[in-house]
Structure formats: C-alpha cells, structure tokens
Structure 1
Amino acid sequence: MNDQIAEPAAQPAASLDPLPVRVSQGLTIGALLLAALAWVVRGVWEIRLAVAGEPASGPPDQGNGVHRPLNGLEDSYHLVTSLGGGVAFLCALLFLAWLWRVRDNARALSGQTPKYAGIWVCFGWIVPIANLWFPRGIVADAYRTTAPGRKLPVSVNVWWGCWLTGMLSGVGIVYRDSTDEIIARAYDEVWPLLLSDAAVVGAAVAGAFAVRAVTAVQLERIARGRGAVTTEAAAGEG
C-alpha cells in the first residue's frame, strides 16, 4: 500500500527536535510495561480461580440469560480485567502516537515516501487480513528507512509474533468471550488462558524493546545530522 496522501516536504535531520520522540518513547515503554504487569496480575487471578474450583452453583453465566451472583473472587477478577482493559486502552493510544511520530520522522530523515499510507497507522490494526502484517510493516518500514542496511531488530519480530498469538487465541488483548465466560474457562481448563496471557506479556515486553530500538536509530540519525551541520558551520567560520 503506497501512500497516496500528499506528504509535507522532507526536513533535514538537523531541523528535527529529538525531544518529542524521546518523550513519546518513554511514555510508550512505560505503558507497555504496565500492560505486561496488568496481564501478569490477570494470570495470577486465573490461577486463583482454577485452584478455588467452580462453585456448586455452576458457572456465573448459566445460559438462557441467567447469571448467578458472583462470589468475592469472581467479582475481583472482573475488577482486574476492567483495570487491565483501561491500561490496554491507554497503551494503545500512546503506541499509536509513537508510531505516527516515528513514521513521520523516517520520512523527514530520508525524504522517502512511507510504504504504508497514514490511515493504516490506526486502521491497520482492525481491518481483517491487513491486521495480520500492516502494523509490523509500518514499524519495520520506519526502522529500515531511518537506518538503511541495518538488520531489523529481533524484538520487532518477537513482539509481532506474540501479538498475533494473543490476538488469534481469542483471549489476548482483544478477546471475544465475556468475563464470565472466561471465568468458566478458568474453572474448566486454565492453561490456554495462561498461555494467552504469556503471549500478551511477551508482546508488551518485546514491544518495549522494539520501541526503544526504532527510536534509538532515529535519535542517532538526528544527532548525526546536527553534528554535520555544526562541523560545516565551524569550517565556514574558519
């Protein structure tokens, strides 16, 4: 998908301000690690549910629109998942803001048109089929355009592999079952839930390393551009 949207003219590296991408990097990494912690806590609660065992009254969702009152542990799991959902939403906003920034920086630093149109920074995550590779492609394109010839960091592929595993499992960051249905699954067979949680934690941690790697090459190139300008200015004065 080539970018068909008119892009501003490329800027020299020396004119780019490194502070915004540094701040965006720090916020995004912090949010990713917080999301990892939230899913670790979620996994702990699922283990607690499995150890406690299903009550004699059966699962919370008893079918035909009938839901029994939740016990204390089940109620606290609802709270844990709600908090985790809030953290995931914040993480998504910060990650998208960072991704948009590094995409624009890569264009400005290289003068090349991005491989993916700007609309895919957001919609690439939700459009079926495209969401299987577009987000990774945008990250990879930003890195390769900024640092041509360098090998893509392993963390990018680990992040994306874990993300897909969590997403396709149906109980990762975006899950189809209701919380009560997940509670019932924890009672019946907790291991698939824990494997999915592990994939989300892996995606978040690897994502933090990927954010750091992509940002680092951009900061390096910006600094190199500023250094070249300073050297030229000094030579001119001499």
Structure 2
Amino acid sequence: MRCATCGGETSPRVSDCPTCGTPVGAPPVNPEVPVRSVRGVGLAASVAVAATTLCYLLGSLTALVGRSMAERAARTENQDTLLVAGFVELAVGIPYAIAYLTAVVLVIVWTYRVRKNLDAFPGSAPGLGAGWAIGGWLVPLVNLVVPYRVVADVTRASVWRPGTGRLVGVWWAAWLVFLVSERWAERSTAREFARLSEYPTIRREFLDYADQYSAALNRSILPMVACAVAGVTLIVVIRRVSAAQQSRIDRGRPVGPVTPGAVVPYPVTSGMSGPAPTTNPGAGGTIRA
C-alpha cells in the first residue's frame, strides 16, 4: 500500500513510512488538530524577501553613484554635487527599511504557521515548541541558532525532496555571514567617512570622498554575495515547504459535504491501494469508510 502523506510504498511489516515517517494507515492530517493555510503567507514572505534582497543590493551599488559624483565635484570643486549621492542613498534606503521590516514580520508569521501545522501531521516530531518559532527570532543570541533549528525541523517533516535540507543550512550560514560582514562594513565605512573634510573645498578633498566610496563598495562585496545567497535559498525553502504543507492539508480535507456528527473519510491519494471509501446510509446518515 501507499502512504497517505507522501505516496511512497509502505510495508505491513513496518509501523512508519520509511520516506516521511507517517505511521502506516494514518491520515495526512490529524482531524482533531487545526491547521493553518500557508499558501498566501508563503507567497507574501517570498515577495518581501525578494524585495529586501534587491533593495539591499541596489543600496550597496549606490557607492558607484557616490564615486561618480565625488569625481565630478573634484573637477568643478562644487560641494552641491556631493549631495546627489546622499539623495540617492536616501531614495534607496527608505524602501529597503520598509521591505526589511515587512519581510521580518512575514517570515516570522510563516515560520510560526508552518511549525504549528506540524502538530497536526502524524509522524512529525519537532524538537522545539511552536512558541520558539516567534521567540527564537526575537531573543538576542538565541536568534543565532533557534530559527535555523525550527526551520530545519519544519523542512525535514514537510518536504522529502533531496537537497532541501541542505538548502536550509546554506541559507542560515549565508545569513550569519551577512549579519557579521554587513555590520563590519557599515561601521568601517562610517568611521572612514567621519575622517573626511565635512566641507571639501579643494580637489584632493573631493577625491578623498571618491576613494572612500570605492573602498565602501569593495567592503560591501561579501555582504552583497551573502545577502543574495541567503535571499534566494530562503525563498526556495519557503516555497517548497509551503507547497508541501498545503498539498498535505488539501489531501487531508474531507471528501464531499459534511453533515453534523459525520465520520468523514480522508481522500485517497492517486495510486494508493486499499478499499475506496463507501457510504453507509445507516441511521442518522453517517458516512463511513
């Protein structure tokens, strides 16, 4: 017979599906535990992560504009030309802040929902409670480990596609590299620019700004690469987990209309062996498999 969760072959000699760990004969979803749809929030979180990644990359590349403006200011010795670089940074920085905060909220909501759904999936054995799906992101130092563990548990219990588990590790490693390298680059750049003349008047002072913009761009290479890797892998993980959980939830929904007090069979997955559900027009119109 086939597993109701993943469709893999099972044997009467084993108690759990060797592919997904669901107990043999168990439904895809425990009918006594509520589940939450993750299709919409997964899509929204993916879009927010993509927007955040794009805005960060564009913000880092504004150093090219700053260098160009500084070189032009050196030729004309006009301080106002340097202001263009500041306006460009502000124009990109505001959307980045909005996208980042939106992504944080949506990723936390998504993490909580997909973790909470595991409580309704027979055979899943997450190592951390659902509360850590929220608290793990917010508690200092804890947020360096716990979110990875929660997402890894969710991915392991939801997706059986080879390589998806490793994607979670790549995502988290890239995210940690981004956090450290971005903080270092930001502080180094701020410190170097603080040493420049506040009101440049001669060519050399303007060129010092151009040199610092070039140095800032070089320092941002590692954070940019880490941000791109973390963003892409997180989107892939979100989409795969969301699709897998939503498919399982849909398979666990009852077939046909439900009357009060009815005992409802679960839909039979295509290719599964075993008797098809039948109706018993007994007293009270109860449906039985």
Name the TM tier (shorter chain): 0.7 to 0.9
Alignment of 1:7-26 (within 5 A): 12=30, 20-26=37-43
**Structure 2: runs of 5+ lacking an equivalent:** 1-28, 75-79, 194-211, 256-264, 269-273, 281-289
Measured after TM superposition, the shift of residue 98 of structure 1 is 0.5
In the superposition, relative to structure 1, how do residues 188 and 148 fare at CA in structure 2: closer, same or farther (>3 Å)?
A: closer
Pair 1:75 & 2:87 matched: yes
**Partner residue, 1:102:** 114
Pair 1:201 & 2:201 matched: no
Percent identical residues: 24
Deviation track 1:167-203 (CA, whole Å, cap 9, x = no partner) reads 011349xx8649x828935343421213212311221
Pair 1:121 & 2:133 matched: yes
Q: Indicate the SS of the match to 2:137.
A: coil
Query: What amino acid sits opposite 2:57 in the alignment?
Result: V
In the superposition, relative to structure 1, how do residues 182 and 14 fare at CA in structure 2: closer, same or farther (>3 Å)?
A: farther
Alignment of 1:35-54 (within 5 A): 35-53=52-70
Measured after TM superposition, the shift of residue 111 of structure 1 is 6.5
In the superposition, relative to structure 1, how do residues 116 and 70 fare at CA in structure 2: closer, same or farther (>3 Å)?
A: farther
**Partner residue, 1:143:** 155
Q: Which has the larger radius of gyration?
A: 2
Query: What amino acid sits opposite 2:180 in the alignment?
Result: L
1:88 to 96, 100, 117: 100
Count of matched residue positions in the alignment of Structure 1 and Structure 2: 214
Deviation track 1:112-134 (CA, whole Å, cap 9, x = no partner) reads 56422334323323434422221
Q: Quick check: 221-230 or 103-112, which moved more?
A: 221-230
In the superposition, relative to structure 1, how do residues 217 and 199 fare at CA in structure 2: closer, same or farther (>3 Å)?
A: same
**Structure 1: runs of 5+ lacking an equivalent:** 1-10, 57-67
Deviation track 1:3-52 (CA, whole Å, cap 9, x = no partner) reads xxxxxxxx62697667x311111111111111122122112212222444
In the superposition, relative to structure 1, how do residues 147 and 34 fare at CA in structure 2: closer, same or farther (>3 Å)?
A: closer
Q: Quick check: 148-157 or 80-89, which moved more?
A: 148-157
Mapped partners of 1:15, 1:85: distance in 2 = 37
Query: What amino acid sits opposite 1:154 in the alignment?
Result: R
Q: Give the number of the structure whose residues are more often helix, by fraction.
A: 1
